[in-house]
Amino acid sequence: MSKQINKKKREARAEKEENALEHIEGALTNSEQFIEKNQKKIVNIILILIVIVGAYFLYHSYVEIPKEKEANTQIVGAQNYFERDSFNLALNGDGNLLGFKDISSKYSSTDAGNLANYYAGICCLNMNQYKEAISYLKKFSSDDLLLSTFAYSNTGDAYMQLKDYKNAASYYNKASSNNVNNFTTPIVLMKNALALEKLNDYKGALKIYNKIDVDYPDTMEARNIEKYITRAKLNIK
How do the domains of the chain map onto residue ranges? Answer: 16-141, 148-237
As a whole number of angstroms, the distance between CA 206 and CA 214 comes to: 12
SS3 of residue 227 by DSSP: helix
Q: What is the pLDDT along the chain (237 residues), one digit of tens a residue?
A: 544 544 444 555 555 555 554 555 555 465 555 555 555 554 455 545 544 444 434 334 434 555 578 778 889 999 999 999 999 999 999 989 999 999 999 998 899 999 999 999 999 999 999 999 999 999 999 999 999 999 999 999 999 999 999 999 999 999 999 989 999 999 999 999 999 999 999 999 999 999 999 999 999 999 999 999 999 999 996
As a whole number of angstroms, the distance between CA 45 and CA 3 comes to: 58
What topology does CATH give the domain 148-237?
1.25.40
Residues 6+ apart with CB under 8 A from 118: 136, 137, 140, 142, 147, 150, 151
What's the pTM?
0.74
